[in-house]
Amino acid sequence: MGNFLTRKKKLVCGILVLLSTATGIFAFDENNKYFLIVKNLDIFAAFYRELDTYYVDDLPPEKTIQKGIEAILDETDPYTDFIAEENLDELKYMATGKYGGVGASINTNGEWTSITDIYPGSPMDKANVKPGDIIESMDGKSMKNIAQDSISKLLKGTPGTTIDIVFRHPLTNATTTKKIARQEINVKPVSYSGFVKNDIGYIKMTQFTENSGDMVRKAFEQLKRTNPGIKGIILDLRSNPGGLLDEAVIVANTFVDKNKLIVSTRGKVKNWDRTYETSGAPADLHIPLAVLTNHSSASAAEIVAGSMQDLDRGIIVGQRSYGKGLVQTTRSLPYNTKLKVTTAKYYTPSGRCIQAIDYSHRGEDGSVDYVADSMRKSFKTISGRTVKDGGGIEPDAKVDPTYLSPVAVSLLRKQFIFDYATQYYYSHPKIAAATAFSFSDADFEDFERFLENKDYSYKTRSEDALESFKTTARKEKYYDAVSKDLEELEQKLKHDKKQDLLKNKEEIKRLLEEEIVNRYYMMEGRIAKGLQSDNEVNKAIALLLDQPAYKKLLTPAK
């Protein structure tokens, strides 16, 4: 209790010292913005002091003031954030891709949590833990009905520390105790590189962390050494959330000449405005390039895609990117806390800012909205092609996203594809190479038998739409007049799970193949297998091999 009161007094005193100092600086100019800040901070401090002193129940200062901080942050964008000391590891991971842990992904399904992926060379890999293994207990505490986030936090920790885990075999239920020593896990920003069809190289980049630019260059140079006749390169930035701006410039420098503007930043503090140019020799200036984006490609990923588009160095294939044109800076605060604050907007070489949501203009209810198409301005690439601001990076070659069928989504969510892959792994000591492996019709029949008496019920989109219509009809008192027709339609829409399974057989087989391959060849095998049926990749390959079509996309419309 004494420590608690001491911390409370320190907190209040710290605020008062800050206020008295600031008041001395700004009190003489009542019209000054900073005077208004100090005035309201003074009111807040007095308000909190009186509330804390006289309120009937005790108010824990950390919790109370945290709520105040959160309320202030609600007025900013979602990227501006207060980072408590206990969350600094997350900030470090965002910048470096490194964390202390055991090197595995997990998933909770029902009462228990299973291992889903193992990182090569990680403590879990060294301990011979397999996907599908169930975490029975950790350090003597049962993990039954423990939330996935809680288990994830327990698995992480300072490198060198150990944790005793009891694993249960998914088929035999035999238990094994393993002492796992945590180590620094470095998640590779380049998760895969290799060749796809017809001498086209492929690089998958998952994040922009320290040294990721060098890793992209090394991957590209290795592809060129492996196949000097390389005909094109695909840089896959789909679902890449971004990261370090400097690394985006280095990635761009792989394909763009020295001293080329890649991005500029502008904000309130003019002394912090900067331009970022390439500083080294490129790895290649001529090999045809396709950059893949989707709605989850953001920030630094958009800087690379936008600069390649503005400089006409390559084509963008896929879907419009997320539209995050904001730059964050980390500022140190007392007691080892941090403020991650948006300090600027960034602009691609043509001068456009691709920020899609306008956080500076809020509705009366605090809501924000996307920049209207009518407000988006046009800019020109080096060759004179028209590009627009205010809405992410528009692809030069649009490919509609692929959506899974409801039956496939249900099989994934309820972990039946995962569980069957576990069963398959233990009954097949080896399989063909990742890209050569094929799930046969006989295998699919076995999968159907596996699903017998298992509940993978779901609603189709048509059934959801009909249910919504029925609700609206009841509210508007039309239901009685059309009830018979709706019942007939409902009967026609009722899906047969068995038929849906067969109707979507090829899609489900692909999902099974990727999950099974992952058991034998880990994540690289899963990616390599998935590329074979990837619509965006196949579109990019076709355009890179069709030079007239490729060049036409880079030529201004007449």
- Catalytic center residues: 299, 310, 324
Give the list of residues 6+ apart from residue 437 with CB closer than 8 angstroms, or none.
Answer: 431, 513, 516, 517, 529
Q: The dihedral of CA 180, 185, 190, 193: what is its sign?
A: negative
* Number of Cβ atoms within 10 Å of the Cβ of 419: 19
Whether 523 contacts 117, CB under 8 Å: yes
User: Measured between alpha carbons, how far is 196 from 234 in angstroms, rounded to an integer?
Assistant: 9
DSSP letter string, 447-481: HHHHHTT-------HHHHHHHHHHHHHHHTT-HHH
Element containing residue 81 per DSSP (H, E)? strand 81-83
DSSP symbol at 546: -
User: Measured between alpha carbons, how far is 344 from 151 in angstroms, rounded to an integer?
Assistant: 37
Q: What are phi and psi of 337, to 5 degrees?
A: -105, 170
Residue that is written with structure tokens 């500022």 in the block? 331
User: Measured between alpha carbons, how far is 259 from 257 in angstroms, rounded to an integer?
Assistant: 7
Amino acid at site 390: G
Residue that is written with structure tokens 């190289």 in the block? 201
Amino acid at site 255: F
- Longest Cα–Cα distance of the chain, Å, equals 85
Whether 338 contacts 326, CB under 8 Å: no
Whether 509 contacts 417, CB under 8 Å: no
* Number of Cβ atoms within 10 Å of the Cβ of 383: 11
> Cα angle at 244 between 535 and 537, to 5 degrees?
10
User: Measured between alpha carbons, how far is 82 from 72 in angstroms, rounded to an integer?
Assistant: 10
Whether 135 contacts 191, CB under 8 Å: no
Whether 211 contacts 186, CB under 8 Å: no
Q: The dihedral of CA 132, 135, 136, 142: what is its sign?
A: negative
User: Measured between alpha carbons, how far is 232 from 254 in angstroms, rounded to an integer?
Assistant: 14
Amino acid at site 531: L
Task: From 217, 222, 215, 218, select the one nearest 195 (Cα to Cα).
Answer: 222
Dig out the tokens for 329 from the structure. 């800076």
Q: The dihedral of CA 372, 373, 374, 377: what is its sign?
A: positive
